[in-house]
């Protein structure tokens, strides 16, 4: 865990752009000088007006034009450089966050909502970007401007300068007092917004469900609670910010009033020129304004650091890989051996999700895993894929475990067709190529044909270049599953895992997908979680799981003869299918 403060970690990103920040410091210094030149110009023109020096007006007009030009130029450059610095730092942090998120273990995703992660890439990242550009340069420029204005004031009238500078320590104290409170509030606000984002992400991805079940009003009330909490925190922040602004404005106004009264008194006594007083008034603005802005800038910086802290929490989380791995493919395979495997999500021996799982699969075999819901089938698949490590026992491929060969190389032996097809926004071609992005067009077409997907793809207006929408929303369930099978075919891994790949399909789609799966399984060692036991009668080995235990294993005929748990499941399912078929015939 990196214990360095978020601010110093943010500075490391900013140091990557030393030249850019050097340009920003240059524009800041020139901008400060140009600001002060207005007070000098005001003094010149006031004295010339009082003394009736009309002949100096052409020179004053020329000076005014020059000052306007340079103020506009450096204002543009300053804004441009700030924006560029902010964008660069935001981009670097965003990329580093994603590169770390891609290497997080599955346990992190199981414990944290994707919406929470999304908020780190959006609102938190935006706040950090503002801090590395406009806010940090404001925190540097305002004290510099105040210091330079104070030095200028000393040259005009040192007693007035001392009165004016008294505002500084008070403003810094206000910023410190209110800034820490704002930071704590900002962390709470970001967390609340993350929860609201998670909720919205769930809702927006389930439009069919809430429309069919009439959940609109319920969802609206739930989101109202999230929104109300956010509003309450923002309202509290507003009160704190308002209090800080009110205190700083009162101090600034009081200091300004005192200084003006004293300056007017000295002019009345003849100890100060009118032009000097005009310059003094302008300089007072440059002294008061920076200090009055400091509490707000400091508060914004605290809010940005709260966002940075949330981002760095992710970056500090333990990861699976040191570097992003390359896509690979295992060419040969002998045996997969699972030896006395036990597993607990909580690492407690009293809370085991799997106990004493043992079997061996050789090249080309088909192994079916059956059992009721909660039996541990999906957990076993997670262990086989290296998403979790066994708490007890070992899983070995050709005598080597995941630790000895490396996680990425271990996973190269596997391909997966899940129950619910996981597709990315993009084209059909993009999703098939995820199986092997080095494959040529011919290989993509052949994979689609083997997956029984080619014909429906070619009926689409854009063919393989058809955009499938979010999670494949423009495709039917069967079409999505065939794309997933084509992806697995292109991967050509020696071990294939099928997680109830046809469970969510209608009968017609199931037949098409089952035919595609049969082609995919040729020459592969296949482990299949089966919901329909009639489809696995020819499996080389059937594992029967119940409550995390392997209660039976054998072939279909052996298990039926044993008249145990598999026998009960098989005939109960047959009876259920017969009843369903009879009901359908009667209707």
Q: Quickly list DSSP for 12-49.
A: HHHGGGHHHHHHHHHHHHHHHHHHHHHHHHHHHHHHHH
- The reply to whether 349 falls in a domain is no
Overall number of domains in the chain: 2
Task: Tell me the pairing of strands 495-499 and 414-417.
Answer: parallel
Give the whole-angstrom CA distance, residue 539 versus residue 415. Answer: 19
* Structure tokens given for 171: 């403003």
**pLDDT in single tens digits along all 587 residues of the chain:** 556 788 888 889 999 999 999 999 999 999 888 888 877 877 777 777 767 777 777 887 888 888 889 888 988 998 899 989 988 998 999 888 888 888 888 888 888 777 778 878 888 888 888 888 888 888 888 888 878 877 877 777 677 667 666 666 666 666 666 666 766 777 787 778 777 777 776 766 665 555 545 666 777 787 788 888 888 887 887 777 777 777 766 776 776 677 677 767 777 777 667 666 766 776 677 776 776 677 677 777 877 888 888 888 888 888 888 887 787 777 778 889 999 999 998 877 778 889 999 999 998 888 999 888 888 888 998 999 888 889 999 999 988 888 888 888 888 888 888 877 778 888 889 888 888 888 899 988 988 888 888 888 898 888 989 888 877 778 888 888 888 888 888 888 888 888 876 655 556 666 777 777 777 787 788 898 887 777 788 888 999 999 889 999 999 898 889 888 888 888 887 776 555 555 545 55
Please check whether residue 386 lies inside any domain of the structure. no
In a domain, 443, yes or no: yes
Contacting residues for 277 by C-beta, under 8 A, at least 6 apart: 263, 264, 266, 267
Residue with tokens 């802290």: 309
Same structural domain, 299 and 444: no
So what's the pLDDT on residue 171? 64
Which candidate, 399, 383, 305, 286, places its Cα nearest to that of 344? 383
Task: Tell me the C-alpha distance between 237 and 562, whole Å.
Answer: 70
Of the candidates 465, 492, 519, which is a domain's last residue?
Answer: 492
Question: Domain boundary residue among 456, 476, 492?
Answer: 492
Residue 456 tokens read as 């429906």
Does residue 379 form part of some domain? no
For helices 6-14 and 57-101, what crossing angle results, to 10°? 110
Q: pLDDT value at position 358?
A: 92
Residue with tokens 């992005």: 437
Q: How far is 538 from 556, CA to CA, in rounded Å?
A: 7
Beta strands in 282-409 (DSSP E): 335-343, 354-362, 366-370, 392-397, 400-401
d(Cα 394, Cα 402) in Å, to the nearest integer? 9
The verdict on residue 383 lying in a domain is no
* Cα 549 to the center of its chain, rounded Å: 38
Q: Which residue has the tokens 């990425």?
A: 408
In 3D space, the residue among 299, 289, 293, 292 whose CA is nearest the CA of residue 176 turns out to be 299
Handedness of CA 548, 554, 557, 560 (dihedral sign): negative
Contact 286, 163 (CB under 8 A): no
Alpha-carbon Rg for the chain in angstroms: 35
Whether the Cβ atoms of residue 375 and residue 547 lie closer than 8 Å to each other? yes
Q: Which pLDDT score is estimated for 348?
A: 74
Identify whether 329 is part of a domain: no
Is the CB of residue 156 less than 8 Å from the CB of residue 262?
Answer: no
Any domain includes 522? no
The last residue of one of the domains, among 492, 518, 546, is 492
Based on the fold, state whether residues 13 and 149 are members of the same structural domain.
Answer: yes
Instruction: Find out whether 529 and 378 touch, Cβ atoms under 8 Å.
Output: yes
| CA gap 202, 215 in Å, rounded | 13
- If asked whether residues 289 and 435 sit together in one domain, one would say no
Q: What is the pLDDT of residue 21?
A: 92
Q: Please check whether residue 223 lies inside any domain of the structure.
A: yes
Give dist(CA 402, CA 396) in Å, integer.
7
Tell me how far CA of residue 327 lies from CA of 105, 106, 125, 210, 402, in angstroms. Answer: 17, 18, 29, 38, 17
Of the chain, the end-to-end C-alpha distance in Å amounts to: 64
Residue 443's CATH number: 3.40.50.300
We report the CATH number of the domain holding residue 209 as: 1.20.1560.10
Residues 304 and 450 grouped into a single domain: no
Range of the domain at 94: 6-315
């Amino acid at each position: 865990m990196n214990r360095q403060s978020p601010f110093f970690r943010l500075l490391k990103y900013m140091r990557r752009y030393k030249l850019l920040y050097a340009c920003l410091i240059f524009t800041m210094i020139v901008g400060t000088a140009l600001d002060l030149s207005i007070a000098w110009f005001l003094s010149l023109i006031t004295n010339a007006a009082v003394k009736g020096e009309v002949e100096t007006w052409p020179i004053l007009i020329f000076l005014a034009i020059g000052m306007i030009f340079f103020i506009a130029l450096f204002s543009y450059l300053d804004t441009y450089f700030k924006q560029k610095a902010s964008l660069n730092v935001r981009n670097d942090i965003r990329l580093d966050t994603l590169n770390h998120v891609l290497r997080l273990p599955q346990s992190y995703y199981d414990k944290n909502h994707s919406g929470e992660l999304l908020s780190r890439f959006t609102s938190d990242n935006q706040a950090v970007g503002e801090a590395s550009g406009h806010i940090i340069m404001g925190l540097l420029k305002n004290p510099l401007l105040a210091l330079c204005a104070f030095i200028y004031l000393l040259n005009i009238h040192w007693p007035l300068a001392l009165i004016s500078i008294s505002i500084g320590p008070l403003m810094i104290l206000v910023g410190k007092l209110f800034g820490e409170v704002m930071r704590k509030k900002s962390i709470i606000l970001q967390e609340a917004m993350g929860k609201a984002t998670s909720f919205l992400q769930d809702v927006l991805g389930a439009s069919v469900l809430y429309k069919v079940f009439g959940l609109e009003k319920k969802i609206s009330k739930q989101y109202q609670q999230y929104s109300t909490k956010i509003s309450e925190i923002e309202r509290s922040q507003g009160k704190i910010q308002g209090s800080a602004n009110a205190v700083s404005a009162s101090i600034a106004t009081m200091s300004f009033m005192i200084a003006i009264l004293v300056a007017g008194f000295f002019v009345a006594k003849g100890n100060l020129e009118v032009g000097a007083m005009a310059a003094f008034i302008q300089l007072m603005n440059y002294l008061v304004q920076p200090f009055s802005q400091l509490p707000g800038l400091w508060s914004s910086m605290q809010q940005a650091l709260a966002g940075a802290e949330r981002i760095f929490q992710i970056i500090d989380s333990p990861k699976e890989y040191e570097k992003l791995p390359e896509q690979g493919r295992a060419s040969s395979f002998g045996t997969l051996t699972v030896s006395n495997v036990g597993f607990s999500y909580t690492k407690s021996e009293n809370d085991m999700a799997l106990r004493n799982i043992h079997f061996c699969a050789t090249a080309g075999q088909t192994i079916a895993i059956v059992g009721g819901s909660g039996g541990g089938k999906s957990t076993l698949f997670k262990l086989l894929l290296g998403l979790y490590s066994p708490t007890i026992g070992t899983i070995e491929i050709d005598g080597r475990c995941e630790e000895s060969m490396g996680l990425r190389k271990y996973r190269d032996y596997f391909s997966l067709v899940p129950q619910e097809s996981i597709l990315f926004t993009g084209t059909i071609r993009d999703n098939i190529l995820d199986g092997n992005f080095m494959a040529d067009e011919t290989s993509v077409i052949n994979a689609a044909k083997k997956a029984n997907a080619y014909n429906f793809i070619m009926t689409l207006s854009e063919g393989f270049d058809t955009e499938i929408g979010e999670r494949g929303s423009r495709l039917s369930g069967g079409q999505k599953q065939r794309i997933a099978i084509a992806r697995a075919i292109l991967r050509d891994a020696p071990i294939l895992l099928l997680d109830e790949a046809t469970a969510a399909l209608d009968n017609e789609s199931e037949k098409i997908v089952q035919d595609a799966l049969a082609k995919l399984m040729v020459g592969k060692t296949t482990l299949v979680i089966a919901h329909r036991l009639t489809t696995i009668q020819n499996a080389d080995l059937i594992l029967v799981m119940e409550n995390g235990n392997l209660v039976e294993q054998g072939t279909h005929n052996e298990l039926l003869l044993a008249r145990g748990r598999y026998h009960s499941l098989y005939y109960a399912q047959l009876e259920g299918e017969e009843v369903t078929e009879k009901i359908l015939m009667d209707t």
